[in-house]
Amino acid sequence: MSAPIQVGMADLKTARAPHSLVTSGLGSCVGVCLWDEVTRVGGMAHVMLPSDRSGRPGQNPAKFADSGIALLVTTLLREGARQERLRAKIAGGAQMFAFAGQSDIMNIGARNVAAVEEELQRRGIRLVARDTGGNYGRTIVFHLATAALVVRTIGHGERVI
Amino acid sequence: MSEDYTRLTPLQLDALREVVNIGAGNAATALATMVQARVEMAVPRVELLPFDQVADLLGGPEVPVACVFLYLSGEAPARVLFALEVERALQMVDVLMQREPGTTVALDEMGVSALQELGNIVASAYGNALAELTGLAFLPSVPAFALDMAGAILDAVLAQYGEVSDQALVMETCFAAAGLDVIGLLFMLPDPGALEHILQALEVDAP
């Protein structure tokens, strides 16, 4: 099988079975995987923040939970997925550093996860598996042939969700 | 907006490089006292890097690194990250705890607190130099520690830059001591908006 397709930080890619998508070193970021089980087309977004509050023009939509999921859905529908068949798996959203009394900037991971969940729910996309939170990083590999999401960590084991 | 780092002029970049040079010089002196060895410092880099490439400075997003992270609060808040390869971190613990080289094979609570103290001293030396140059106050937070994938550590530190940019202004210094190749990398990341204050204080106009 070919090498997994790399998805960078604030990046988004789609692919078909038997390919797989990988994103390395998710900390507070969240990896959002969507797929259509019938057409076996799927995608992964590596989102950094809940939503764009800057008002700046020309922002990269893949950076934010709301616009990233929107773009991922649009792209997948264009590639033959059906909205009602889309399913989601997510991983990441850790709090890498904990400071006593620090502002919520530090808990961006939890805010990212909440924003992703909200956006999925708003679109009626069922979240079937998740591996979120904690205080450690994750590398995730999404296999489109099986929809298995492999989560690798340092010191916290490896699991398939 | 001032947060548009891409509009920094060569003069401003030079001024920042000088800040980093002096800050890192102070940090190197503090480091040398702690490890009781001569500490060399590479010419600092001040660069705008796409988020993806920042992790490459630490060997790639999946490479495990030991990091001490501090927040310098004040009018021009900044984040300071002191990152070491895991092997180097273990060697540093031996040096700091005055153990025989090779004694530390895993990081325990004592080792972590020794590294936090090291990060604290380095970051404070850096903050003091910045304060002297700019007349602004930089108050270091309690140091936080993580041993994890470089990408995971950096995305937690860089996330806030995502609001305003696709790039981070990275001020990076590399330290080395006799017998140890690379002690660690020190990153200084001014918060969005803080750069303007720093540049004003240095009397080079903000972009």
Is residue B145 predicted with pLDDT exceeding 70?
yes
Q: How many CB atoms lie within 10 A of CB B38?
A: 11
Q: Does B86 touch chain A (CB under 8 A)?
A: no
Task: Report the residue from A25, A28, A49 with minimal CB separation from B163.
Answer: A49
- The ipTM value here is 0.87
Q: Does A8 touch chain B (CB under 8 A)?
A: yes
Task: Report the residue from A24, A28, A108 with minimal CB separation from B61.
Answer: A24
**Overall domain count for chain A:** 1
How does residue A85 score in pLDDT terms, banded at 50, 70 and 90? very high
Task: For residue range B59-80, list pLDDT tens digits in order.
Answer: 889 999 999 998 888 888 888 8
Q: Distance between CA atoms of A108 and A47, rounded to whole angstroms?
A: 11
What are the structure tokens assigned to A41, written together?
Answer: 């087309």
Q: Distance between CA atoms of A93 and A110, rounded to whole angstroms?
A: 6
B133-140: average pLDDT = 87
A145-156: average pLDDT = 95
Chain A residues lying within 8 Å of B154, measured CB to CB:
25, 27
Please give the pLDDT value at position B118: 85
Domains and CATH numbers, chain B: 5-201 (3.40.1550.10)
Task: For Cα atoms B124, B130, B135, give the angle at the middle one, nearest 5 degrees.
Answer: 120
A144-153, B51-60, B110-119: segment of lowest average pLDDT = B51-60
Q: CATH number of the domain that A148 lies in?
A: 3.30.1330.200
Is residue B82 predicted with pLDDT exceeding 70?
yes
Please give the pLDDT value at position B17: 83
Q: Distance between CA atoms of A59 and A135, rounded to whole angstroms?
A: 29
Q: Quick check: A97 and B156 CB within 8 A? A: yes
What are the structure tokens assigned to B115, written together?
Answer: 């590294």
Which three-class secondary structure state does DSSP give residue B79? strand
CA-CA distances (angstroms) from residue A113 to A11, A160, B4, B10?
Answer: 17, 19, 28, 40
A33 is catalytic: no
Q: Quick check: B164 and A56 CB within 8 A? A: yes
Of A41 and B10, more confident: A41
Please give the pLDDT value at position B6: 63
Q: Which of A10, A29, A34, A144 is catalytic?
A: A29
B100-119: average pLDDT = 88
Q: What percent of chain A has pLDDT over 90?
A: 80
Chain A residues lying within 8 Å of B168, measured CB to CB:
none
Please give the pLDDT value at position B38: 84
Q: Does B49 touch chain A (CB under 8 A)?
A: no
CA-CA distances (angstroms) from residue B91 to A95, A151, B118, B187?
Answer: 27, 30, 13, 21
How does residue A67 score in pLDDT terms, banded at 50, 70 and 90? very high
How does residue B88 score in pLDDT terms, banded at 50, 70 and 90? confident
Chain B residues lying within 8 Å of A96, measured CB to CB:
146, 148, 152-153, 156-157
Interface of A with B in 45-104 (CB under 8 A): 48-49, 52-54, 56, 60, 63, 94-100, 102
Is residue B23 predicted with pLDDT exceeding 70?
yes
Instruction: Compute the mean pLDDT over every residue in chain B, rounded to the nearest whole number.
Output: 82
A61-89: average pLDDT = 95
CB B71 within 8 A of CB B141: yes
Q: How many CB atoms lie within 10 A of CB B164?
A: 18
Is residue B1 predicted with pLDDT exceeding 50?
no
User: Which of A106, A5, A99, A2 is closest to A46 using CA atoms?
Assistant: A5
* Mutation for A interface: B65, B79, B149, most A CBs within 10 A: B149
Is residue A147 predicted with pLDDT exceeding 70?
yes
Is residue A153 predicted with pLDDT exceeding 90?
yes
- Best-predicted range by mean pLDDT among A47-51, A89-93, B23-27? A89-93
Please give the pLDDT value at position A100: 54
A15-19, B145-149, B175-179: segment of lowest average pLDDT = B175-179
Please give the pLDDT value at position A4: 92
A45-54, A98-107, B110-119, B195-204: segment of lowest average pLDDT = A98-107
Please give the pLDDT value at position B11: 85
* Mutation for B interface: A13, A23, A24, A131, most B CBs within 10 A: A24
CB B112 within 8 A of CB B144: no
- Best-predicted range by mean pLDDT among A63-77, B14-28, B156-170? A63-77
User: Which of B167, B168, B150, B67 is closest to A139 using CA atoms?
Assistant: B150
Please give the backbone phi and psi of residue B102, each rounded to the nearest 5 degrees, phi first: 90, -5
DSSP B145-207: EEEEEHHHHHHHHHGGGGGT-SEEEEEEEEEEETTEEEEEEEEEEEPTTHHHHHHHHTTS---
Domain holding A97, by residue range, is 5-160
User: Which of A51, A44, A50, A56 is closest to A11 using CA atoms?
Assistant: A44
A121-149: average pLDDT = 96
